[in-house]
Structure 1
Amino acid sequence: MEIKRKLYQACQAYIDLRIATIDKAIVAARDASTDDTKSSAGDKYETTREMMQQEIDRNTVQLNEALKLKQALALIKPDTLSEIVQPGSLVITNNGSFYLSISAGSLNIEGVSYFAVSQASPIGSKLMRLKKGASFQFNDKNYLINEVY
């Protein structure tokens, strides 16, 4: 199904953009750390270096999380079809369409909004292992699964 391939590619682009943004932030923090020169104001240099190191550490944690997302997405086969909801499934409900992959939020493909959710997310865990025609309740809303691709 072509739409699943496009959703998969949108998730890849989401992760790639996240990784690129984090990489730039790490480089900027490293540059700021090495560019600051010692001044007569005492330990300003060491304070700036420490702040930049903390920024690098925070961004490194975010980078590792983004790389984990990339690994999780790599396990999904976008061309696989199943009657039972599993990672990689596109689920059409009466209250929205969900792509079980990674938590990437709302993705707009050909003018239609789809929600990319992980199987570990609250709604993703509700969807897992259900079939067309199944219903469930989430956040005081009733959901009916119209299609599983």
Structure 2
Amino acid sequence: MKDSVQLKERLVKHIKETTDRRLVEIDTALVQAQESANDDTKSSAGDKYETSREMIQQDINRLQQQRAEVIRELDIINKIEQEGTEVGKLGALVVTDRFTYFLATSLGQLVIDGNKYAIVSAQSPIGKQLIGKEKGQDFEFNGIQQTIKGIY
């Protein structure tokens, strides 16, 4: 595939931007939840206060878990090698007779210059199918037989 390094750079850039936006959204929500907890402390008393406080704390815990996951994803993204490869691995662009996959983090479908790319995690079911595969190999996923036409 001509210009595969440039394409991978664009894919990684988009993934980083999307993931960075998610991190900012989570951080904003964490600040708001903490402010809400602080305001609740000033104005409430009794069982209603305890229930409200516990719900806010659960929200904070959930947001902290989401934040940790996004940071793990950013670490994975930063490890992606953008030079070419001949085997399915993190950072590989895998072209099959049905789809084009980019092994990175789970982001879903992305369209660049009219071409669709499935951004999948190496830990996802399809990612696990692609790891270690080479051009010309076949695999089946969700009942669909696919042949690898190229790996970049």
1:1-149 equivalence runs, <5 A? 1-36=5-40, 37-39=42-44, 42-78=46-82, 80-149=83-152
Q: Quick check: 1:38–1:44 contact (8 Å CA) kept in 2?
A: no
Query: Aligned partners of 1:90 and 1:69: how far apart in 2?
Result: 18
SS at match of 1:24: helix
Letter of the 1:139 counterpart: N
Query: Aligned partners of 2:25 and 2:137: how far apart in 1?
Result: 40
Query: Aligned partners of 1:55 and 1:86: how far apart in 2?
Result: 36
Query: Aligned partners of 1:118 and 1:98: how far apart in 2?
Result: 10
Structure number having the greater helix percentage: 2
Structure 2: gaps spanning 5 or more residues: none
Query: Aligned partners of 2:44 and 2:61: how far apart in 1?
Result: 25
Letter of the 2:43 counterpart: K
With structure 2 as the length reference, what TM-score do the two structures score?
Answer: 0.90
Which runs of at least 4 in structure 1 moved beyond 4 Å after TM superposition?
A: none
RMSD (Å), alpha carbons: 1.4
Query: Aligned partners of 2:37 and 2:103: how far apart in 1?
Result: 40
SS at match of 2:80: coil
Structure 1: gaps spanning 5 or more residues: none
Letter of the 2:80 counterpart: I
Q: Structure 1 residues 120, 39: CA separation in 2 closer, same or farther (over 3 Å shift)?
A: closer
With structure 1 as the length reference, what TM-score do the two structures score?
Answer: 0.92
The answer to which of 42-51 and 106-115 deviates more is: 42-51
